[in-house]
Amino acid sequence: MSLQSPPAGTATAGLPHSAELEQEREQGSAAPPEAEEDGEDEEDEEEEGEKERDKLPPIPAACGAAAGGLERGAKNQFSTFSSFITTINQKKEGTGNRNSPTQLVIPSIKNVRDLPSICLDVRQKQRISIDTLPQELKAPVPPEPSLPIRNKTVKDFQDDIEKAKSSGDWKAVHDFYSTTFDSFLEINAVFKVDVNSPFNTTEDSGINAKFVNVVYDALLNTPQDVQKSVLKGIINGLLQEWKGPRTKDDLRAYCILLQNPQFSNTSTYVIYAHLLRQIAALTEADHHFLVHWSKKISQRRFKQVVDRLLQFISLRLFPAKPEEFPPMVKCTWWIPSATKVLALFNAANSLISPPIISYTDFYNSTLDHIDLMEEYHNWQCYGNSHRFSFCQYPFIISIAAKKVIIQRDSEQQMISIARQSLVDKVSRRQKPDMNMLFLNVKVRRTHLVSDSLDELTRKRADLKKKLKVTFVGEAGLDMGGLTKEWFLLLIRQIFHPDYGMFTYHKDSHCHWFSSFKCDNYSEFRLVGALMGLAVYNSITLDIRFPPCCYKKLLSPPIVPCDHNTLVGICDVTLDDLFQIMPELAHGLSELLSYEGNVEEDFYSTFQVFQEEFGVIKSYNLKPNGDKIPVTNQNRKEYVQLYVDFLLNKSIYKQFAAFYYGFHSVCASYALLLLRPEEVEILVCGSPELDMSALQRSTQYEGYQKTDVTIRYFWDVVLGFSLDLQKKLLHFATGSDRVPVGGMADLNFKISKSETSTNWLPVAHTCFNQLCLPPYKNKKELKQKLIIGISNAEGFGLE
């Protein structure tokens, strides 16, 4: 098999074909342990594949490829691909030293009672316990082989490039590239800052990043034979025989090779796949180093590596030209390898605050088009077995795809419960009633909170059924509008400052739980259930909770069986307090940086004072805290205990009720897939507005989209500031946020109002409908619209 010719800029012609690579493998490389586990059937397939290696058959069409890439079978996902064996040698004494690739998955999931009481968030697993590796994984370090001496500097290389461009003689450049990438030793000899230093710490990789960047930036602009020599050299490096564990020089070489821009071209994917396979198969201790070194890569390079990995996965799932790739059955390990390497970069990204790139940059939208429920069910059924599922790596699944999983999982639970209700009726020889298939909530407007609480408490077993709301004494069928109105009215009443359940903080524009003690916390459970019902029934709520709330809501993501286990308790920092009470957080921050004598100047003790119903009460932050002064030495402990008291301990009973209310509706293993930020988006929608998308999806009643009033309207709205656009959305829909599915999911409608043009626009938030009079000109429309949206009542505004 000869590799496909690339577009201009990358050369692969003349690379050794797979038969030559196999011959070299037979001379010095043993099959990886994964291949040995596959048994004789796999070896027979290998022999047949070797005969046809020079002429690979085309792989199936895109949909078939997608299915094949996620094929589940008895064989290990790292089944061998005979055309290019490059995994680590397991001969003789080396066999006992190698570890299989780290499986970043959750334990086998059967039921909640099998789960320990701690958080089983798979995202924690994917961060690989980076800072808590046992000592035995961190040493000893094998001796580094001596490196050849290479004295070329960045300036020398740049001078060679300039001379080659002007003279057309690329020999010096060709020699540099072919020598540098010929082996891992040569890569280190050129790019290691000091060849005589081991650089065995996670803090310093010892890589001359500037030199690496300059060499790679110039590579794609060199002649084809130069680029070809680099790929040949990489093949040589990957094919060398490995004995024993990797050295830090080997890890440096992997780190450098991952940044090669040539791997953006599909014609290099066979080589790229085997590089990824070797990296994925490293020990956890080696991954530990790669993760910490990766976080030192510049943001631009980091993003490029992540994008290449995502593109590799996408094109293996849905190849534009299937003939460019080996048959799917021969490389089922491609996608798992790439995903595991991507997990290392996700772990590196999570170690830095703020992160190098956004967590959304790890989303692969291609996965929106695969069978997500098959992925989810495999993950549920097989847990930490060898069956690969993207759900083991939820950072790669977009919020839109996660919403699909949650909704379908919810629907299946709804159907299951409704079916059971029907069977129970029939078994008792009672006439089935269609109402039994729904969660029917009947409330009086004058007793909205108490009636809602009673209904949801009484019908706790039906919470996973489809919600239908009826207002007592009012005719009408709930086609979605009444349900949304119920949510809006209930949230507005519960979050009103006079109600006392939540405190609104003007500085941060968010609500937080009142710390007042009471005898019954059932109303907090109601708020949690409302949030769960909103997610379950795809309703966007206008709730202003800080991000910390959603972090606590996933602590743990699965309700523990032991009711004595604490829930809703998470690690909180001063940054979390800044998002709720910025003034207090600023004061504590100043305490930490105060240069004077804290004990004498502040005269504080380990106590907190809170006003409750006009009475000042004190609470000790630690035993005998009222007798322990805050000093320069213990002020960090004081601040941490203070923050923990405010965000965890002082509101524990309130939040625990809220937690159990939410999980009484949303209890699902799908929550393990979610980040706190994603839970917030599912509940409240996304803050990112795209008014042009709203314009494209808007429906009209009484108007045509070409009418002059509609043209005026969109000219005005698209010219609004972001603040006014949010006010318009809030005015028309009850929330200034966008559902996960985007503006199209709003079902926004503009209706013609036959009232006088002296009237302001009117909105029906339950139906996301704006009633717009036919104003005479654009100026009048703009004036009336701004008055209307700026003086509408909003939740949390006083």
Residue 766 appears among annotated catalytic residues: yes
Which whole-number Å values give the CA distances from 459 to 510, 561, 649, in the listed order? 31, 22, 31
- As a whole number of angstroms, the longest Cα–Cα distance in the chain is 95
Residues 6+ apart with CB under 8 A from 632: 597, 598, 599
Q: Taking Cα atoms as reference points, which of 723, 731, 736 lies closest to residue 750?
A: 731
Cβ neighbourhood burial of 574 (10 Å; 0-12, 13-18, 19+):
middle
Do residues 712 and 777 lie in contact, with contact meaning Cβ atoms separated by under 8 Å?
yes
Tell me the C-alpha to C-alpha distance, in Å, between residue 163 and each of 153, 167, 225: 15, 6, 17
Cα–Cα distance between 242 and 694 in angstroms, integer?
Answer: 58
**CB hemisphere CA count around 195 (13 angstroms):** 16
Assess contact for 489 and 444: CB atoms under 8 A. Answer: no
CA distance 515 to 567: 17
Reading the block at residue 730, the tokens are 């809030």
Yes or no: say if 492 and 532 are a contact pair by the CB < 8 Å rule: no
Checking 503-509 for CB contacts under 8 A at 24+ apart, the result is 504/544, 504/796, 504/798, 505/580, 505/581, 507/581, 507/582, 507/583, 508/546, 508/579, 508/580, 508/581, 508/582, 509/544, 509/796
CA atoms 535, 538, 539, 544: torsion sign: positive
Q: Which residues contact 333 (CB under 8 A, 6 or more apart)?
A: 34, 77, 78, 79, 81, 273, 277
Burial 254-288 (b: 16+ CB within 10 A, else e): bbbbbbbbbbbbbbbbbbbbbbbbbbbbbbebbbb
In what helix (H) or strand (E) does residue 615 lie, and over which residues does it extend? strand 615-620
In the block, residue with structure tokens 């005898």: 519
How far apart are the two ends of the chain, measured CA to CA in Å?
A: 72
As a whole number of angstroms, the distance between CA 256 and CA 260 comes to 7
**633 vs 629: CA distance, rounded Å:** 10
Catalytic residue of the set 510, 684, 766, 771: 766
Say which residues have a Cβ less than 8 Å from residue 775's Cβ, sequence separation at least 6. 709, 712, 757, 781, 784
What secondary structure, in 3-state letters, does 400-416 show? Answer: HHHHHHHHHHHHHHHHH
Backbone φ and ψ for 117, nearest 5 degrees, come out as -80, -10
Query: Residue 461 corresponds to which tokens in the numbers above?
Result: 């077993």
Beta bridge partners of 772: 752
Distance, in Å, from the CA atom of 784 to the CA atom of 760, rounded to the nearest integer, reads 5
Question: What is the dihedral angle through the alpha carbons of 47, 51, 53, 58, rounded to the nearest 10 degrees?
Answer: -100
CA distance 116 to 67: 34
The two tokens of residue 346 are 């996700």
Active site residues: 766
